[in-house]
Amino acid sequence: MYAVVARLWRPVAASAIVHLLFLAVYLSKFHGDASVLICAGSQRTGVPPYECVTRTIGPSGHDGQFYYSLARAPWRCHGLDIDVPAGRHLRIGYPALCWLLSAGEPHLLFYVMPAVNFTAIVVLSALGAFLALRCGQNPWWGFVLPLGANLGISLPGTFEAPKAPVYVDGKLSTTLRGDYIVAEFRQLLDDYVAQRYGATEPAVATVA
């Protein structure tokens, strides 16, 4: 048993250190404000359950904000605070565990949620290293496993800039970039419908 542990600890420790560095670099960009880790959008801040968020990611944010909302109160019905409540509740295990560890305290969740993520990464790395060793492979495959599963990217965020090419009548017209892609695309759609069919109402309203 000691010989196995001796071969496993290096790739697991390396995985933990690398992901901690990811997290530290990301937090340093926001002066250590842990509320940025839930990736809330500016459109949702200031009102419960996002009233304690002081750092946002664009106007719409990312998935983490919805699991933060669930972790605040996993056993009640949710409405406009979550984009698709029924769909998000299908993954209730993670927010429920975070709620259990924090009692739903909003500031504490900023730290508990990434801590649970980080623990999952370390456990997955250890499991990968152990299975690799049992199959006669190099235990450093355990180091690669969380990276291959994209867990290391989802922990600190991906730094990506949203981008969407727009084709009109089969030809590339423009490429939308930034946080306002949806609004810009709707405007392009309205303009196209107005030019093509002489519509006076916004295309989105007409479709609805």
Mean pLDDT of 165-185: 81
Nearest to 13 by CA among 126, 113, 147: 126
Cβ atoms of residues 27 and 58 within 8 Å: no
Tokens of 87: 């769909």
Mean pLDDT of 157-179: 74
Same domain, 149 and 167: no
Same domain, 175 and 95: no
Cβ atoms of residues 62 and 88 within 8 Å: no
Residue 162 scores a pLDDT above 70: no
- What does the pLDDT read at residue 179? 62
Same domain, 201 and 141: no
The number of distinct structural domains making up the chain is 2
Distance in angstroms (rounded) separating the CA atoms of residues 189 and 193: 6
Strand, coil or helix: 118: helix
In this prediction, residue 170 has a pLDDT band, given cuts at 50, 70 and 90, of confident
Distance in angstroms (rounded) separating the CA atoms of residues 11 and 131: 13
Tokens of 163: 């981008």
- What does the pLDDT read at residue 200? 54
- What does the pLDDT read at residue 198? 77
Range of the domain at 67: 2-154
pTM score, whole prediction: 0.72
- What does the pLDDT read at residue 35? 95
- What does the pLDDT read at residue 172? 86
Residue 66 scores a pLDDT above 90: yes
Same domain, 94 and 187: no
62 phi-psi bin (left φ>0, alpha ψ -120 to 50, beta other): beta
Same domain, 55 and 84: yes
Cβ atoms of residues 64 and 47 within 8 Å: no
Same domain, 110 and 190: no
Residue 201 scores a pLDDT above 90: no
Same domain, 25 and 52: yes
Mean pLDDT of 99-127: 95
- What does the pLDDT read at residue 40? 92
User: At residue 134, what is the residue type?
Assistant: R
- What does the pLDDT read at residue 4? 77
Same domain, 146 and 171: no
- Report the sign of the C-alpha dihedral through residues 138, 150, 29, 82, in that order: negative
